[in-house]
Structure 1
Amino acid sequence: MTSEQALAIVRGRYALPTLPDGTPAELRVTEFDIGYLVYAVFPPVTDAAGRPQPAPPGGSKIVVVKDTGETVTVPNLPSEEAIALYRKQRQS
């Protein structure tokens, strides 16, 4: 499986996230030894004065397992933490 195939699986199974103006959000893929982590990228949120604001809570990232194409959602954590959590869940 390739990163492009993992992206196609996610696009085919999940609703695509959108930006506040309704345009599709960019999807990125991070490969690791047993899968691909697929996630949306949103521009930084700023207030009216242009000061950075925290990202809204929630959301998820999706792991596509390399050997099966199975998908698993994980919380919207930094990529390394999301991958570590997936590994921990997989061992359970």
Structure 2
Amino acid sequence: MTESDRPGSTPGLPPTPPPFRPRLGPEPLPTNEAEALEIGRKHFPEAGSPGGPSGLFVHEFDIGYLIHASWPRPEDPTVPPAEPGGSHVVISKIDGEVSHLPNFPPEDAVKLYHGLHSRRTS
């Protein structure tokens, strides 16, 4: 199933976000990159699936783990993507909270998360 095949999706528009997952209690607290990656996999299509990422990667930083995806090269790089956008997932080392950030380069996404986190804890 491609993103545009999801119920409620409109071809030519960004993909419909996955259904809201209510927080039912404390999130698991990852202690290493492998555990963070397992939590992060729940927030991306399966790697290697049609329309899905070609791989998921973990970038550890002081207060969290940034999970970011790589995407296969387009067949025609001159054509704009059918479904632009995307996001990174950050899993907090402090409380396990999962946050979604824009698809910025990892260093810029970490800076953004630091800014958002400092406002949240102030």
Under a length normalisation based on structure 2, what TM-score does the superposition of the two structures give? 0.60
Q: May I ask how many residue pairs the two structures share in their alignment? A: 86
Q: Gaps (5+ residues) in structure 1?
A: none
In the TM superposition, 1:38-77 aligns within 5 A as 38-47=67-76, 52-53=77-78, 56=81, 57-77=84-104
8 Å Cα contact 2:65-2:92 kept in structure 1: yes
Percent of matched pairs sharing the same residue? 38
Match of 2:50 in 1: 22
Please list the CA deviations of residues 39-72 of structure 1 after superposition, one character each: whole Å capped at 9, or x if unmatched.
Answer: 111133352xxxx448743110000111322111
Q: Gaps (5+ residues) in structure 2?
A: 1-30
Match of 2:105 in 1: 78
Cα RMSD (Å) of the superposition? 2.4
Structure 2 letter corresponding to 1:91: S
Match of 2:38 in 1: 8
Residue aligned with 1:67, SS: coil
8 Å Cα contact 1:44-1:53 kept in structure 2: no
More strand by share: 1
Between the aligned partners of 1:66 and 1:55, the Cα distance in structure 2 is: 36
Higher Cα Rg: structure 1 or 2?
2
Residue aligned with 1:45, SS: coil
